[in-house]
A = this chain, B = another copy of it.
Amino acid sequence: MTTDKPVDKNMLGNETNVEENITWLSVEDCRLRLSGFAFFEEDHKLERIPNRLKSVFNEINPCLNELGGNTAGGQLSFRSSTSRILIRAKITAVPNMVSMTPVAQCGFDCYIGESPKNLKFFGITKFDRTQSEYICEVVSKLDTTKVKEFLFHFPLYVGVKEVEIGVDSNAIIEPPTPYEKEGKLIFYGTSITQGGSASRPGMAYTNYLSRKLNLEHCNFGFSGNGLGEYEVAKMLSEIEKPLLYIIDYEANSGTNGRMVKSLDDFIKCLRESHSEVPILVVSRVPHLMDLLDESAGTLRNSLREFQRGTVEKFRSLGDNAIYFLDGYTLWDDDFDEYTVDFIHPTDLGFYFMGKGLEPIIREILNKH
Contacts and interface: CB of A to CB of B under 8 A. Distances in A.
Contact of A99 (B63, B122, B124, B132): B124
Contact of A7 (B126, B128, B224): B224
Given A7-B66, A8-B191, A336-B120, A199 B196 contact: no
B157 A6 contact: yes
Contacts of A191: 8, 10-11
A288 B122 contact: yes
Interface stretch (A34-42, A273-281, A344-352): A344-352
Given A346-B347, A346-B348, A129 B341 contact: no
A123 B344 CA distance: 11
Sorting the interface of chain A by its residue count into under 10, 10 to 19, 20 to 34 or 35 or more gives 35 or more
B348 A347 contact: yes
- Taking chain A's interface residues, is the majority helix, strand, or loop, or is none over half, making it mixed? loop
A320 interface: no
A150 B5 CA distance: 33
A2 interface: yes
A9 interface: yes
Nearest to A337: B121
A96 interface: yes
Interface string A124-137: 10111100100000
Contact of A6 (B6, B120, B223): B223
Interface stretch (A100-108, A171-179, A236-244, A258-266): A100-108
Contacts of A6: 96-97, 157, 223-224
A92 interface: yes
Contacts of A127: 98
A1 interface: yes
A67 interface: yes
Interface of A: 1-11, 13, 63, 66-67, 92-103, 107, 120-124, 126-129, 132, 157, 191, 196-197, 199-200, 203, 223-225, 288, 336-344, 346-348, 351
21 contacts: A1-B94, A6-B97, A7-B66, A8-B224, A8-B225, A9-B224, A10-B343, A11-B196, A98-B103, A98-B127, A98-B128, A99-B102, A99-B199, A121-B339, A124-B340, A124-B341, A199-B340, A337-B351, A338-B347, A347-B347, A348-B351
